[in-house]
Amino acid sequence: MHSPRTTVARLRQGWATLLILTVGATVAVLGVGAAPASAYPGKPLTEFSFYVHTTNTTTAYNLGCNQGSFDGTHGLTASRVTLAYGVQKSNLSGNILTGTGATITRAQVEAVAENLALGYYACSPLNSTLYLNLGTNNDNSTETSSMGNDWGNVVHDVNNWISGHAAQVLVQGANDMEPGFAASYSSTLAWANGYNGNSNAGLYLNFGSADGCPQTTHTNGACNNGWNQRGLWTLSWNIAAAICAPEIYYTANAKQWEQIALYGGTQGNTSHYIAVWDEYDLNTATLSPQGAWDAFLTQLYSNSTTASAPLYSMEIHNE
Amino acid sequence: MSAYRNSKARAVRDGRPGSRRAIGLGVLGVLLGIGIIAAVSATTAQASSPNTGLPADKAARQQVAIDSARNKTGHLPSKSEVRSQAQAQAMANAAAVDADPAGATAGLTPGIVEQRQGPFSAAEFSVTNMYRAPVGARWLFAFAGATRDENGQPAQGAMRVYQLTASGAYTFVGLYPAPSGTGALRVSAGAGTVLTLATDSGRSLTFDLDGLSYH
């Protein structure tokens, strides 16, 4: 039997135990779970994407081999490369390449992608995966649903070819969707819906811009040429096939895409971004890969609903 | 004094086991907190695929595409086989390039190309159209339009020029701002290396691709 004094002492000890446990748990939760807004993850290694200028399959193979070697050297288990082929021709026979205006046939589009995949397979370690995005853009004033659907067929064709000739490469679509290009928003949306309607096509990556969009508000504000925040959110995330690597060339771009993500939040579907896209190699007046990452992540982590880090840092180069 | 000494000694003597208990309980509390965070994180993570970072609906859509392109033959060449074949193909390609000195520029024709796409974002330079022509051993591509400010608004009329060599190297040559107040430029005609430019302000300019200057 305990004396009253001992009982009081045990009661005090119990309360003290509870207090210490509570304080410890609180410290841990506050310390780990609610990191300061500025504490975003570091930039992953930057991977190169390319404006395609030639149809040379050896060049494509070497680009893939370079990426495979890079992944092996750095121990990467996943990387992402976009080939930008320029605008699709309305008759679906091929593309008009960015920069030169030269024509590339649909068969050449596929051959370049297949050889890059082959090069990657040949030179990569066994445990890595390359996500290869085949990119077009919306610089066609008559962008249509059929064009989107057909680009999905191109993606499927290449995936089909790869399955019998290589491995470790997964092809997806891509589109450099920009309000400043020739297609209107409704035409661009038609393309996206056409791609989305092709069930064999998988995902497409929007690696475009948000020209003229608001930087401080997310109330479906206007962007250039009749586009708006809702339109960019739709094309970049809300469509089931859409993922996005926004062009972050200036700090203003980081703010624009953050506001688009927040606009998505008002619609119950906050945008998330798979990569940060820069063009420092082509224009050193724009943000470097690290600068683009910091600018964008600062914005994303300024709000708990958008505080999620992209998986990749992508930089466009000339082939 | 002695009382102070005694009390301090007692604290040291009696307090040590108590301190250990308190530290132990504190550590237990921290572990409990981390456990709470891990449980919450695991619940949150169920909404996205762990390998791709994609939400479930997008990951499922991707899987359908993967399944639809599954290998039907069952045979896959080894990495070394692929490398050997690639070497042979590279030699064949090199021979083909040697036979065609035009290389990457083969098939290009000089003239105006009505397109807005350029190897840069429309958010930084809005293209009206483009003119291409051979100049010496290289091809030049002159994009007419206007620079844009960081907010994507038109800033100044300019020509943005790139070059492509036969070896396939495509590089930036320079940005050539038009005299102030001209507004966005458009190539209205071209003869050889001399371009006639129409401007938003109604002025007409000429731009020489040889000297890369306005007249």
| Cβ contacts of A54 on chain B, cutoff 8 Å | 104, 168
Per-residue pLDDT of chain A (319 residues; tens, 9 = 90+): 344 445 545 545 555 555 554 554 444 444 444 344 558 999 999 999 999 998 989 999 999 999 999 999 999 999 999 999 999 999 999 999 999 999 999 999 999 999 999 999 999 999 999 999 999 999 999 999 999 999 999 999 999 999 999 999 999 999 999 999 999 999 999 999 999 999 999 999 999 999 999 999 999 999 999 999 999 999 999 999 999 999 999 999 999 999 999 999 999 999 999 999 999 999 999 999 999 999 999 999 999 999 999 999 999 999 8
pLDDT of B45 reads 37
Token pair for residue A145?
């649903």
Higher local confidence (pLDDT), A304 or B28? A304
Taking each continuous run of H as one helix and of E as one strand, the counts in chain A are: 8, 11
Binary contact (A180, B152; C-beta < 8 A): yes
- Which residue, chain included where needed, has tokens 């748990």? A25
Does residue B26 carry a pLDDT above 90? no
Closest-CA residue of B relative to A250 is B150
| Tokens encoding B13 | 């003597």
| Beta carbons of A287 and A280 less than 8 angstroms apart | yes
> Which is more confidently placed, B39 or A76?
A76
How far, CA to CA in Å, does A161 sit from each of A149, A288, B70? 19, 36, 10
Domain that holds residue A148: 46-318
- How confident is the model at residue B5, as a pLDDT? 37
B134 class by beta-carbon count within 10 Å (0-12 exposed, 13-18 middle, 19+ buried):
middle
Residue A30 lies in a domain: no
The enclosing domain of A152 has a CATH number of: 3.20.20
Q: Average pLDDT, whole number, for chain B?
A: 78
- B124/A100 Cβ within 8 A: no
Q: What is the pLDDT of residue B130?
A: 97
Burial (0-12, 13-18, 19+ Cβ within 10 Å), B119: buried
* A290, A300, B121 from A253: Cα distances, Å: 15, 12, 12
Closest residue, chain B, to A272 (C-alpha): B54
Q: How far is B34 from chain A (nearest CA, A)?
A: 6
Q: What is the pLDDT of residue B43?
A: 37
Which positions in chain B touch A155 (Cβ < 8 Å)? 65
A-to-B residue pairs, Cβ atoms closer than 8 angstroms: 239
Question: Do residue B22 and residue A283 have CB atoms under 8 angstroms apart?
Answer: no
A191 vs B207: CA distance, rounded Å: 37
CB of A66 within 8 Å of any CB in chain B? Answer: no
Query: Is the per-residue pLDDT at B34 higher than 70?
Result: no
Residue of B nearest to A224 (CA): B152
- Cβ neighbours of residue B202 closer than 8 Å, sequence gap 6 or more: none
Portion 178-197 of B in contact with A at CB < 8 A? none
Comparing CB atoms, the residue among A23, A119, A249 nearest residue B29 is: A23
For chain B, how far is it from start to end, CA to CA, in angstroms? 99
List, for residues B130-188, the tens digit of each pLDDT value: 999 999 989 999 999 999 887 777 889 999 999 998 778 899 999 999 988 888 999 99
Q: Do B124 and A249 touch (CB under 8 A)?
A: yes
Measured in angstroms, the CA of A56 and the nearest CA of chain B are apart by: 8
Q: What does B188-214 look like in DSSP terms, one character per residue?
A: EEEETTEEEEEETTS-EEEEETTTTEE
Residues B137, B164: Cα–Cα separation, whole Å: 9
Q: What is the pTM of this model?
A: 0.82
Give dist(CA B163, CA B135) in Å, integer: 9
Dist CA A278 CA A247 (whole Å): 6
- Is A35 a domain residue? no
Closest-CA residue to A82 (of A63, A107, A95): A63
Alpha carbon B144 to its chain's center: 23
- Chain A 166-205, residues with CB within 8 Å of chain B CB atoms: 166-167, 170, 172, 176, 178-182, 199-203
**pLDDT score of B46:** 37
pLDDT at B38 over 70: no
pLDDT in tens, A278-303: 999 999 999 999 999 999 999 999 99
Q: Work out the minimum CA distance from B149 to partner chain A, whole angstroms.
A: 10
Domain positions in chain B are: 2-64, 111-214
**What whole-number distance in Å separates Cα of residue A305 and Cα of residue A37?**
11
List, as ranges, residues 256-295 from A with C-beta within 8 Å of B: 272, 274, 279, 282-283, 286
CB contact under 8 A, B162 and A23: no
Answer whether B43 touches A (CB < 8 Å). Answer: no
Number of structural domains (chain A) is 1
What ipTM does the predicted assembly reach?
A: 0.80
Which pLDDT does position B91 carry in this prediction?
Answer: 73
Whether B96 has a pLDDT exceeding 70, the answer reads: no
pLDDT tier at B7, thresholds 50, 70, 90: very low
Select from A20, A247, A316 the Cβ nearest to the Cβ of B29: A20
Contact yes or no for A243/A204 (Cβ under 8 A): yes
pLDDT score of B41: 42
Q: For residues B44-68, give the mean pLDDT.
A: 75
Residue A220, number of CB atoms within 10 A of its CB: 15
Best interface-test mutation with B: which of A23, A138, A162, A211 has the largest number of B CBs within 10 A?
A211
pLDDT at residue B150 in the model? 75
Confidence of residue B103 (pLDDT cuts 50, 70, 90): low
Across the interface, of B107, B118, B148, the residue whose CB is closest to A98 is B118
In this predicted structure, what is the pLDDT of residue A308? 95
Q: What is the average per-residue pLDDT within B110-134?
A: 93
Is residue A278, in this structure, part of any structural domain at all?
yes
**Token pair 């811009």: residue:** A209
Among A128, A152, A103, residue whose Cα is nearest residue B115? A103
